Structure 1
Amino acid sequence: MKGELRCPRCGERPEPPGAWSNRWTCGRHGEVFPLAPMTTPSADFTRQLGERSEVPLWLPWPLLHGWVIGAVLHAGDDVSGVQATAVAISGPNPLGGPADLVLVAEEQGVGLGSGIAGVRGTDPGDVVKSEPHARVHAEGRPVPLWCVSGKPEHAVYVGQWDSRWLWMIWNPHTAAALLLEDLVLADLRSLGREADLLPYGTPPPWLMRRSGYDL
């Protein structure tokens, strides 16, 4: 895996702050909060990220049977701190074969969720003004979710929790059948010692490519 910072929307290398801008700048998307290099996930890394993140690290809780954490991503900079997180988990698809789920928490306008999902723009747009298509519970609150169009291999749902976007990106799209099981999400930051016992695996290859990192 390469260690350069990346644009959270397209995976390209942004230019660092300089004389003309105090923000990282992507040639395609302008000023961005850069995506940190992807590393092999671990309990220590997750705990350290949680201690300095102002946004949640979402995870179905209890963790789905047979699933493991494959990647933990974050975007931000030294001035503004962590502006977005993504937790990727992998396990059995209820309709057969393997599956992945990426849960993104981000401030408005960051674009990490839309970048992973293949959605144009940084936010889901007017779809959130219609009737919701699904719901989850996150930290004790019901969260309406709307289905948005992204890459054809994905099922993409987005809602809001505490004025921040909550993205759920399922791969393949059939894995979204798990939404029918009344999923409950917990913030890894609030799990305490239980977070140290979670199983870890390897990043999904498609997520590495989408984020601009080589296998």
Structure 2
Amino acid sequence: MPYQPPWPPTGTALEAIRKSSVVPVWLPWPLPAGWLVTGFGEVGDQRTGARASVVALSGPSLTEGPADLLVIAEEPGIGLGAAYAGLDGPDPGAGFDAGPPNAKIQVLGHPTALWCVSGQADRAVYAGEALGNWLWTIIWPADAGCLIALSELSLIDARDHDLDVPFGAFSPRLDT
């Protein structure tokens, strides 16, 4: 399935991805303090709809400096999250979820386990499952990964909400 050109951080783009996506469009809500939505991406076509969605965000890390976060939902085998993570295969890999989870976040009000996945050294990668789809959180720089484990993120499906989302500058992380 083709990766479509990324969408800019606008209300029009959010509305378009809300309508085209057959997988959740996960959005941390409320946004962490100081964070902005910085773009959207999807894999799919007009015939089948988006089989993977990505929401890009930027804001302050818990350590120091800025951080970039991608939140991805995808059907198994699509490979968008793995591509952003820097993995060779389409999914997190066998045994990624062995042992206790490294983080828990709220997804639609339910605790959801995430495990660290070994990706490129410059980013922190967590993966899990929500609503039968892969859920990926990928954050740069790698030391900002503590945001996933410590900030008590709560994800909603933007397809189900008409929100006044704060937007920032387009994220170059989507140009992968």
TM-score normalised according to structure 1 size = 0.77
The answer to whether residue 31 in structure 2 is matched with residue 91 in structure 1 is no
How is 1:32-181 mapped onto 2 (pairs within 5 angstroms)? Answer: 33-125=1-93, 126-178=95-147, 179-181=149-151
What amino acid maps onto 1:47 in structure 2?
E
Map of 1:26 onto structure 2 = none
Counterpart CA distance in 2 for 1:191 and 1:69 is: 15
What amino acid maps onto 1:78 in structure 2?
Q
TM-score normalised according to structure 2 size = 0.93
User: Deviation of residue 182 (structure 1)?
Assistant: 1.7
Counterpart CA distance in 1 for 2:144 and 2:157 is: 22
What amino acid maps onto 2:141 in structure 1?
P
Instruction: Report if aligned partners of 2:41, 2:174 keep a CA contact under 8 Å in 1.
Output: no
Counterpart CA distance in 1 for 2:173 and 2:153 is: 24
Map of 2:171 onto structure 1 = 204
Any stretches of 5+ residues in structure 2 without a counterpart? none
Q: Provide the secondary structure at the position in 2 that maps to 1:49.
A: helix
1:68-93, CA deviations, whole angstroms, 9 ceiling, x for partnerless residues? 11110011023322100000100111
User: Deviation of residue 37 (structure 1)?
Assistant: 0.8
The equivalent position to 2:157 in structure 1, one of 184, 187, 192, is: 187
Q: 1:105 to 1:71 in 2, by over 3 A?
A: same
Counterpart CA distance in 1 for 2:47 and 2:10 is: 26
Instruction: Report if aligned partners of 2:40, 2:174 keep a CA contact under 8 Å in 1.
Output: no
1:148-194, CA deviations, whole angstroms, 9 ceiling, x for partnerless residues? 111101000000001100000010011122221221111111222xx
What amino acid maps onto 1:187 in structure 2?
D
Counterpart CA distance in 1 for 2:46 and 2:171 is: 28
Any stretches of 5+ residues in structure 1 without a counterpart? 1-32
What amino acid maps onto 1:170 in structure 2?
I
Instruction: Report if aligned partners of 2:3, 2:43 keep a CA contact under 8 Å in 1.
Output: yes
Q: How many residues align?
A: 174
**Bigger radius of gyration:** 1
Q: Provide the secondary structure at the position in 2 that maps to 1:75.
A: strand
**What root-mean-square deviation, in Å, do the aligned CA atoms of Structure 1 and Structure 2 show?**
1.3
Q: Provide the secondary structure at the position in 2 that maps to 1:200.
A: coil
